[in-house]
Amino acid sequence: MSAVSLESVPLTRLRPMQPTDLPEVFTIEQQAYVFPWTLRILQDCLKAGYRAWVLEEGTHLVGYAFLSVAAGEAHLLNLCVDPSYHNRGYGRRLLNHILQLARQYQVDMIFLEVRPSNIPALHLYTSAGFNQIGVRKNYYPHQNGREDALIFGMDLTG
């Protein structure tokens, strides 16, 4: 067994998203999705006061998340990790932070939608304790027309 030098482990930190982060967030969004959110949507989310967080490795932004909180519920609107940083635990770190925030806001339930074709996201959400509670037919744009959204929820009262 070999020890890992602390110098070789990248430093990461979570912080609230700033408007100056949006160009880098938008670049990641475009790299991660065939049908990305527009820069205007990202800007509007910040203006609307959604809880938006970024995850940095050193000085590089590697992921972000948007959370809406209202009326005792939370909705994870977007959680995204730069594709070149996949499979390093960053998505789980962001999700855990979002769940912690939702609990701090004392919400009863948190919801999200996910494409059935997004197998890594499905694994992340189910392994974190989310359960499928419904389907939104033809919700997402797709190369061949439309794709359903699976609706997931988690009870945070227990």
118 is in an annotated binding site: yes
Identify the helix (H) or strand (E) that includes residue 104: helix 90-104
Q: Give the residue numbers annotated as catalytic, written as ranges.
A: 113, 125
Around Cβ 7, how many Cβ atoms within 10 Å?
Answer: 6
CB-based burial, 61-96: b 16+ in 10 Å, e otherwise: bbbbbbbbbeeebbbbbbbbbbeebeeeebbebbbe
Measured CA distances, 130 to 14, 15, 50, 124, 135 (Å): 22, 24, 21, 9, 14
Identify the helix (H) or strand (E) that includes residue 69: strand 60-70
Which phi and psi angles does 42 have, rounded to 5°? -60, -45
Radius of gyration of the chain (CA): 16
Instruction: List, as residue ranges, the binding site.
Output: 118
Instruction: List, as residue ranges, the binding site for acetyl-CoA.
Output: 118
